[in-house]
Amino acid sequence: MKKNKKKKMLDDFPSRKVIKISAVIGGVVGAIYGYYEGGLIGLFVGLFVGFFLALFL
């Protein structure tokens, strides 16, 4: 019973919004990681990738 209820809740939840939010979070994490690895260039690359994913998913 619990599994079915959980699955129904997940189906009702707007999954596209979750994908966009996770893409933005991924972009921010990528930007922070890129900043530590390669400075400002890595920062912009991480932000670009995150927003690109958010727009096209």
How crowded is residue 26: how many other Cβ atoms within 10 Å of its Cβ? 15
Per-residue pLDDT tens over the stretch 4-55: 555 555 555 667 777 777 777 777 777 777 777 777 777 777 777 777 766 6
At 26 the pLDDT is: 75
pLDDT tier, 1 (very low <50, low <70, confident <90, very high otherwise): very low
- Closest by CA position to 28, among listed 4, 53, 9: 53
At 56 the pLDDT is: 67
DSSP string, 8-52: HHHHHS-HHHHHHHHHHHHHHHHHHHHHHHHTHHHHHHHHHHHHH
